[in-house]
Amino acid sequence: MDRKEIISGGFWLCAAIAVIFVSLRLGLGPYNNPGPGFLAFWSGLLLTGLSGALLWSGLRRKTKAADLVDLWQGRKWSIPLMAASALILYSLVLVKLGYLTATFCLMVALFSVGKIKLPLAVPGALLAALFTFALFDWFLKMPLPRGIFGF
Amino acid sequence: MDIIFNNITGLINGFSVVLQPTQLVFIFVGCFLGTLVGVLPGIGPVGAISILMPITFQMSPTGAIVMLAGVYYGVMYGGSTASILVNVPGEAASVVTCLDGYQMARQGRAGPALGIAAIGSFLAGTTGLIGLQLIAAPLANVALEFGPPEYFAIILVGFTFIIYLTRGSLLKAGMMACIGLILSQIGLDPITSEQRMTFGILNLFEGIGVAPLAMGLFGVAEVFTNLETLHKGEHIKVKIRTLIPSRWDWMRARWAMLRGSLVGFFLGILPGGGPVISTFIAYGLEKRIARNPERLGKGAIEGVAAPEAANNAAASTSFIPLMTLGIPPNVVLAVLFGAFLIHGVTPGPLMLKENPDMFWGIICSMYVGNVMLLVLNLPLIPMWVQVLKIPGRILYPLILLFCVIGAYGINNSVFDVYVMIFFGAAGYLFRKFGYEGAPLILAFVLGPLFEVNLRRSLLMSGGSFAIFFTRPIALGAIIIAAALLLLSVYQMHRKRYANKTRLF
């Protein structure tokens, strides 16, 4: 058994079945005038077959294949997780806090995740926020959110 | 005679566009940023173009595309530097260059390796451009005769090619292509304008944007993967005495460059081909025809010249199917295709007639860019060596920041940032579970074209699939697609029997 293939194959099998149901609701239409769900249906059906085959191969595998734990073994998986969390939090507060404040906080968080000491991370984050604001908002005229502080 | 006359007129027109100071600046910026991205391991051309795409919104369409094209072939140049100096490929098309390039650097011959890589890239890139210039215009005229069945069949070949050439599992590549097709269905139906899989979310009415998707899958996912290890790379103390290869090096490298150029030239045109595949094939060819194949991998200059020539030739010729048929042959061009559409230009057979300035401008910008890269990059190599020493803990947060700004800048919407983060996390997991992102993004970009042409073909034929078998070009393309699929299945079975412990 290969747990890695079973999990991913199983996930995509469920997703494919859901796509088939959604496409049937959209309507396949007749062959001479295919409907909005036509291609999604056939893509979903093909995905069902392929993910089913992957699942089957995972179940049939007799040798001791790589376990799910091996995927993250010896790697600091918590770092990308923290970075992703910081990005999500940033997206939530970006418009409210404004670009400069939110970006400063994000960069401090990301630099800290990379084990950069705070005395270096804070000025680095400030510099990154100011430089990108100047480049995108002032120079390239891309309107960045100002937020409650007005910057 | 007409072709030659049209070519000369087109070139004069194109050079008059790109030799304007603003366009020259855009080409320079594109080439410079491309080389920078190529030197830095991690992001690659897809991520770089996706990140930079929103910056180009304020530019003229021609300026935007010549800059992004500059990024593409700039990456090809820059990628060899990291491969040769630190044995870490700057991007996928430079993986093969590590084998002999790094060995040359260890033997104190980093200079000739970098020199031959730059000169080979220039010569091959120019060869590819001549091909692009000669083939593109006549092919565009032929493509005007194509109808929906022909387009459908050619796109189908593209899908099967990308699956055939996939490095990992065939099953997973097929699954990714299906997922890409399904994702491309989100939004309004192109024919009936009905909502599809939007779940009432207003931001999804126009579908998922190619830029946040590509930035997430390639940029953010790459950073997440690198953050796990915060890879420092092996820094060698490089002393570059001369960049000019010796006479002996020239003798060995010249035919390798020519062969690499030819391999890259043809693989660049094929849908699903492109620079990455061409480097592996060019290197394999060198190994096969070498008198002493054991030299390759131990610092042979042919092992640097052939793949570097191949990836640059392929980078140039891959514009042929995009600009003449409107079909992006590889994932980088798929993202560039998105950039064309954002700027209101539809690449395809009508581009030459509707936007001749842009058509010829892009071709000429690549000639100018190739010269710029050769002239600028050789003296700048010491600077790139310093760039390679920037630690990942500083670089990766900055790349993430640029990704966020890029995604936000597309529509000034946080929704695109969410989409990017979602696909960044998905891309990270895809890598963990052995799925490649390339088939997904190519299917995502080609999906709407595939669907519209399939449905129109069926409308034309009154629901009969025979329409794909009664028109010669469509039939030819379908035969190629079927052959590729059968060949893939055959290879999968052969692999399975050869290695019974691993089925797929």
ipTM given for this complex:
0.92
Q: Residue B385's closest CA among B34, B82, B73, B157?
A: B82
- Give the pTM: 0.80
Residue A52 — pLDDT band, cuts 50, 70, 90?
very high
Report chain B residues whose CB lies below 8 A from the CB of A110: 396-397, 400-401
- DSSP letters spanning B282-347: HHHHHHHH-SSGGGTTSS-THHHHHHHHHHHHHHHHTHHHHHHHS---SHHHHHHHHHHHHTT---
Distance of CA A54 to the CA centre of its chain: 23
Token pair listed for B115: 């020199």
Q: Which amino acid is at A18?
A: A
Residue B21 half-sphere exposure, CB side, CA atoms within 13 Å?
0
* Distance in Å, alpha carbon of A148 to nearest chain B alpha carbon: 17
β partners of residue B187: B196
Which among B58, B194, B425 is the nearest to A84, CB-wise?
B425
Please give the Cα distance from B150 to B481 (Å, whole number). Answer: 13
The dihedral through the CA atoms of B408, A107, B92, B126 has a sign that is: positive
Backbone phi and psi for residue B219, each to the nearest 5 degrees, phi listed first = -80, -65
pLDDT band at B155 (very low <50, low <70, confident <90, very high): confident
Q: What is the mean pLDDT of residues B17-42?
A: 87
Q: How many helices (H) and strands (E) does chain B have?
A: 22, 2
B362-380: average pLDDT:
86
B175: which chain A residues are within 8 Å (Cβ-Cβ)?
Answer: 12, 47, 50-51, 54
Q: What is the pLDDT of residue B28?
A: 92
A89: contact with B, CB 8 A cutoff: no
Residues of chain B contacting A79 with CB distance shorter than 8 Å: 227-228, 230
B42 token code pair? 């991690």
Within its chain, how far is the Cα of A86 from the centroid? 13
| Interface contact B227-A114, CB threshold 8 A | yes
Would you state the pLDDT for residue B230? 67
Q: Percent of chain B scored above 90 by pLDDT? A: 15
**Hey, what are B446's tokens?**
């080609």
Which of A14, A28, A38, A43 should one mutate to test binding to chain B, selecting the residue with the greatest count of B CBs within 10 A?
A: A43
Subunit contact A4:B459, Cβ cutoff 8 A: no
Tell me which chain A residues have a C-beta less than 8 angstroms from the C-beta of B397: 83, 107, 110-111, 113-114, 128
> Beta strand B195-196 with B187-188: parallel, antiparallel or unpaired?
antiparallel
**Considering only residues 22 to 61 of chain A, which have any Cβ-Cβ distance to chain B shorter than 8 Å?**
22, 26, 30-40, 43-44, 46-47, 50-51, 53-54, 57, 60-61
- B94 closest CA partner among B281, B300, B275: B275
Where does the pLDDT of residue B489 fall: very low under 50, low under 70, confident under 90, or very high at 90 and above?
A: confident
Cα–Cα distance measured from residue B393 to residue B373, given in angstroms and rounded to the nearest whole number = 29
B330-352 pLDDT per residue, tens: 778 888 888 888 888 888 888 88
Q: CA-to-CA distance for B353 and B341, rounded, in angstroms?
A: 17
CB contact under 8 A, A142 and B58: yes
Question: How confident is residue A71, by pLDDT bands cut at 50, 70 and 90?
Answer: low
Nearest CB partner across the interface for B462, out of A4, A32, A95 = A32
C-beta of residue A91 within 8 angstroms of C-beta of residue A140: no
| pLDDT band with cut points at 50, 70 and 90 for residue B76 | confident
Instruction: Residue B220: list chain A partners with CB under 8 A.
Output: 87
- C-alpha radius of gyration, chain B, whole number: 22
Give the tens place of pLDDT for each residue, B446-456.
Answer: 888 889 999 99
Mean per-residue pLDDT over chain B, rounded: 84
- A–B: how many Cβ contacts below 8 A? 175
Assigned token pair, B304: 């640097």
Q: Considering only CB atoms, which chain B residues are within 8 Å of A80?
A: 223-225, 227-228, 428
Tokens of A34: 């295919």
